[in-house]
Amino acid sequence: MGNRLMFALGLALGAAQAFGAVYYVAPDGKDSNAGSEKKPFATLNKANEVVKAGDTVWIRGGIYDLHDTVFYERYKMTAGILLTTSGESDDNRIYYLGYPGERPIFDATNLPVAAGEEHSDGTPEGAMYTSPIVVAAKYLHLKGFEVRNTPMIHNSNSGIFIYASKHIFLEQIDSHHNAGPGFFAHDGASGGGGHLFLNCDAHDNYDPTDWQGDGENADGFGVHYQYDGDTTKFIGCRAWWNSDDGYDVLAQEFPVVVENSYAMGNGYIHYGTSKPPNGNGNGFKMGYSRNDMGRHTIRNCVAWNNVASGFYANYTSVGSTWINNTSYKNGDRSFSMASTLYAEDERTRLAEVAPMLGDKAHVLKNNIAFPNKLSQIGTCWEKISSQDIDHYVDCPAGENNTWNLDLDLTEDDFVSLDDPSMTVTGEDLSTIPGMLGPRNDDGSLPDVDFLKLKKGSRAIDKGEDVGFPFEGKAPDLGAFEYGSKVTSIAERPTRSAEMPGSATVFDLQGRHLGTLQTMPKKPGVYFVRYRNLLQKMYIK
């Protein structure tokens, strides 16, 4: 190990010990141990019993064979790992962190799966769902590990299931080959949500024996059932080859934000070699909402090669905001803004299809559809049975998108349309350099040429200024600004002069260091949170 890496490791471990008690978990540990570095625990369940706010659990590398479950009484489900102990605030979390330079893997192949079907009978034996990791807590930071191979019997089981929780920070977690969603956040309890998924991956998830259908519910990321609380965000995340959708916010009645994230090949299984009969296959499925409160924001995202639509509104009752996204070669539509109307009871559907108008309309700016395959944009199909209406009507088309500007882009407008995800099937894409290949050392997205604009591209300087930095005379269309070195919002260099003193600063392990006015002015790289936006700051 080089001196530089040893120095960085020392800083990380030193920072951890300065913020509370430190525990260790290792595959060869014992829960009867003290949880020290030399005598680690064997399970996170044991760590959950002893931690308090401010404490850190270092998870050593290796494979953790999950072969026992505990019963989670509140949701009537079973879990390999159940995290219920909470931190106190965003500034005083509990940290479950992969040990620097090592890779912990939670393998659920041997996890006993509950055999319950559509409804639980309230017993462990009759539980509907089982997950390797269930989070039912507040103010946790989980970072730097894999979850894989969750089995199923009748119901799809999520790799990580978050229930009635608040402000869970998930970073650099890879959830794959599960018989259900990679990540599922169920925020039906009041006052929850506000989770941050930073640089996480969900791929190759497939639920073949779900009672609702083969491939019906294995999304990459799901956020559902929230009515109030705080906004959940996805930044720098990727979802590919999930049997259902990449991102799904079905019945999410509270805003979600997705930024700088990718969706590819959803609706395919077995490394892209076949399609399940009941998978939907949308990249970003951002609906439905019935109470007009689920207006989501999707910005600087890329969807390509999905079985259905790249960006899909899924018959929501209120439009979302779609800014600077790129949709390429999706099987059905690039953008499908299908919407509808519900009565005040939020159950009675007043229309099969209806355009969103006025303050309910979808906002579409600076997007690339390549090709321009659209639905419910500009011209909408309207069907309201009670009024005997079934015809096409005008509806909002957005501004400064390729379709508004009559730009039928070609290969000549891009640096490259060549990526392994466009040509390789039957192999694990996470190991092949490309858009979905290995991430940078800090977890940020790979910097490749795929779908970036070429010098002279007709999409350069064609956008509208929506309040974010850009190069040239005006923003470009699509997810990648020509001439910019930034590939993720979490990578954007930030000078302290650009932020007010109320911005809070964290180290790279997510620990609060103070505000920009009070933090130690030591050289290094830090996270800055301002108005719920997470960025990096470099101090020289």
Max Cα-Cα span within the chain: 75
* CB distance 222 to 184 below 8 Å: yes
User: Does residue 187 fall inside a structural domain?
Assistant: no
Quickly state the pLDDT bin for 388 (edges 50, 70, 90).
Answer: confident
- Give the mean pLDDT of the chain: 89
User: Does residue 413 fall inside a structural domain?
Assistant: no
Quickly state the pLDDT bin for 484 (edges 50, 70, 90).
Answer: confident
The pTM of the full predicted model, rounded to 2 decimals, is: 0.89
Domain count, the chain: 1
How far apart are alpha carbons 33 and 340 in whole angstroms? 58
Task: Give the pLDDT score at 480.
Answer: 97
Closest CA to 158 of 182, 186, 188: 182
Percent of the chain with pLDDT over 90: 75
Q: Is the pLDDT of residue 122 over 90?
A: no
Closest CA to 263 of 193, 355, 185, 330: 330
User: Does residue 498 fall inside a structural domain?
Assistant: yes
Percent of the chain with pLDDT over 70: 87
215-226 per-position pLDDT tens digit: 999 999 999 999
Closest CA to 445 of 235, 143, 242: 235
Task: Give the pLDDT score at 115.
Answer: 77
Instruction: Print the domain residue range for 540.
Output: 492-540
User: Does residue 103 fall inside a structural domain?
Assistant: no
* CB distance 446 to 302 below 8 Å: no
Residue listed under structure tokens 């998978």: 279
Task: Give the pLDDT score at 525.
Answer: 62
User: Does residue 140 fall inside a structural domain?
Assistant: no
User: Does residue 440 fall inside a structural domain?
Assistant: no
Per-residue pLDDT, averaged over 326-340, amounts to 97
User: Does residue 12 fall inside a structural domain?
Assistant: no
User: Does residue 503 fall inside a structural domain?
Assistant: yes
Quickly state the pLDDT bin for 494 (edges 50, 70, 90).
Answer: very low
437-456 per-position pLDDT tens digit: 999 988 999 999 999 999 99
